[in-house]
Chains A and B, each alone.
Chain A
Amino acid sequence: MRAGLVRSGGVHPSGVSALLAPFVLLALWQLACLTGLFPPQVLVPPSEVARTLASMAASGELERHIGESLFRLGVGYVLGAAAGLAFGTTIALSRLAEAALSPLFMALWQVPVIAFVPMLVIFLGIDEPFKVAIVALAAFFPVALATFDGVRGVPRAWFEVARVYRTRLADLVWRILVPATVPAVLTGLRVAITRAWIVLVAAELLAADSGIGQMMEMGRQLFRIDVVLAGVVVSGVIGFALDRGAKAIERRATRWRTA
């Protein structure tokens, strides 16, 4: 029995609404500035932010910041996700490994990733290794947990069906296990990339010499609100793109699933 009040649009916009939403926001923003409600120290119209973005793009500065951020995100994410996959699979398949490793894992998981920043700064300084490490850490936990759930969650019944039809081991792994775990793992990977992006921007705010986060912090210190807003826009757009991209991949790979 489906719900009485649910509808598309609004909080979960789909299709056209989803794309229209940011434009509506921009329009309101522009309007608010034109009315002179806010002094320029507080709010600057999107037109000016666009100009700032354009000039930064022209000078190559924007490209450099985005490139640095994305590079760190990419490297850290791959490392963290790979480690998460390996770890999750291991503790799911081996009860001994689970008994030995999961207490430590669960204890570490209680700490918000961002709380590791001061510690990592002492160990790694504020250069690239630190940023890659924090991204890897942010990606590691969701992927490990999701992989564990995915592998553990393969129903026993499926193994039994395989036995009845005398399936070979290779087929068992590729045709049953992997597809069975893919949905959970992909969800974990998606959550991880969104988290990793957020953590990276935060880390760059704290301690970096380039990157989107650092761009925003610099803007704040120089009272350049247009630069700060430019950073907000860019980080939002990238975050959105990452999330949508991940969701699309997830959907394509799990087409066989019923709702």
Chain B
Amino acid sequence: MNAVLSKPWLRLAIGLVAPALLLIWWQWQASSGDVRSIAFAPLGSIGGAFLELVENGSLVSDMVSTLSRSLTGLVIGGALGIAVGVAMAIWRPLDRLLGPLLHAIRQVPLIGWLPLLGLWFGTGQGSELIVVSLSAFFPTMLNSYEGVAGVEQRYLDVGRIYGFGAFQRFRLILLPAAMPLILTGLTQALAFAWIASIATEILLGIGSGLGVTMQLAQTQQRIDIILVTVIATAILGFAVNYLFRQLRISLLRWQPASL
């Protein structure tokens, strides 16, 4: 058995079995002719839907929209999260003041803020951006806090011995030592921002974006469009995460390879 599995092309073939079976089952359901088959669009029409979306440019513009929404939210929430997390780790009074409040706010599922934000700001792009930024804020804040608070005392000792002032301590010890966790926080935040973008797009359904298209297609019973969009979401999400991971590795060259 192991000999079979060790050949890469054979592994690939085995891996394709399940998806192939799924597609066959799908096509069979689509052509079965009973009431439920309306939900199953024939495989051919999925290809057609793909071409349709590419031709009218909506697939690309959706991908760009969702991506830019996630990245904007990541930048806003991430920057704020790093600033707040680092500040709270350095100044104890701030920690005592803000910490419990943020902890309490964190308990509410972020998506639950949408109706509230909808009442406050209307159901426009603003509310969406706030939710996406919030979803990026918490992981970066927590990880930045842990990163700075967890800096080992022995490195701070070295700083004391060489007479480091507060600014030197921050620039040369705290920040670089905290960087791995800060980047971890940003990686998590990216994933959360991505999910939050899709979620708010589905829920509010305005503007453009992958989630919006999915929601619209659902009201029109266009399962073929939904499928194309879902696949695009998966691919785009994977690609962005992969690129981010590479970026992280290059920023942390000083770490031993195993980390």
A residues at B contact (CB < 8 Å): 1-7, 9-13, 17-18, 20-22, 24-25, 28, 41-42, 95-96, 99-104, 107-108, 110-112, 114-119, 121-123, 197-198, 201-202, 205-206, 213, 216-217, 219-220, 223, 225, 228-229, 231-232, 235-237, 239-240, 243
* B108 adjacent to chain A (CB < 8 Å): yes
* B202 adjacent to chain A (CB < 8 Å): yes
* A21 x B92 contact (CB < 8 A): no
Complex Cα–Cα for A243 and B5 (A): 40
Q: Scan residues 94-145 of chain B and give those whose CB is less than 8 A from a CB of chain A.
A: 95-96, 98-105, 107-116, 118-120, 141-142, 145
Q: A25-B105, A41-B119, A110-B238 are in contact. Are A99 and B112 (CB under 8 A)?
A: no
**Is the contact region of chain A dominated by helix, strand, or loop, or is it mixed?**
helix
Q: A18-B103, A220-B118, A231-B112 are in contact. Are A3 and B153 (CB under 8 A)?
A: yes
Complex Cα–Cα for A102 and B5 (A): 14
How many chain B residues touch A (CB < 8 A): the figure is 73
* Chain B neighbourhood of A111, CB < 8 A: 230, 233-234, 237
* B114 x A205 contact (CB < 8 A): yes
* B151 x A235 contact (CB < 8 A): no
Nearest A residue (CB) for B112: A235
* A101 x B18 contact (CB < 8 A): yes
Complex Cα–Cα for A231 and B199 (A): 19
Chain-A contact segment, one of B182-190, B212-220, B245-253: B212-220
Complex Cα–Cα for A56 and B211 (A): 34
Q: A197-B109, A232-B113 are in contact. Are A21 and B101 (CB under 8 A)?
A: yes
* Chain B neighbourhood of A236, CB < 8 A: 104, 107-109, 112
Nearest B residue (CB) for A25: B104
A-B contact count (CB 8 A): 205
Task: Return the 7 tightest CB-CB contacts between A and B, nearest first.
Answer: A10-B99, A21-B100, A10-B95, A118-B218, A236-B108, A4-B153, A220-B115
Nearest-Cβ distance from residue B43 to partner chain A, whole angstroms: 16
* B88 adjacent to chain A (CB < 8 Å): yes
Q: Scan residues 50-77 of chain B and give those whose CB is less than 8 A from a CB of chain A.
A: none
Nearest A residue (CB) for B194: A112
Q: A11-B95, A116-B230 are in contact. Are A103 and B19 (CB under 8 A)?
A: yes
* B156 adjacent to chain A (CB < 8 Å): yes
* Chain B neighbourhood of A219, CB < 8 A: 115
Nearest-Cβ distance from residue B194 to partner chain A, whole angstroms: 7
Nearest B residue (CB) for A201: B109
* B116 x A11 contact (CB < 8 A): no
Complex Cα–Cα for A12 and B142 (A): 9
| Contact sample, A vs B, 17 pairs, CB 8 Å cutoff | A2-B153, A5-B90, A10-B88, A21-B100, A22-B104, A24-B104, A25-B100, A25-B101, A99-B15, A107-B234, A115-B211, A116-B230, A118-B226, A202-B109, A216-B115, A216-B116, A236-B104
Most chain-B CB neighbours within 10 Å: which of A3, A9, A243? A3
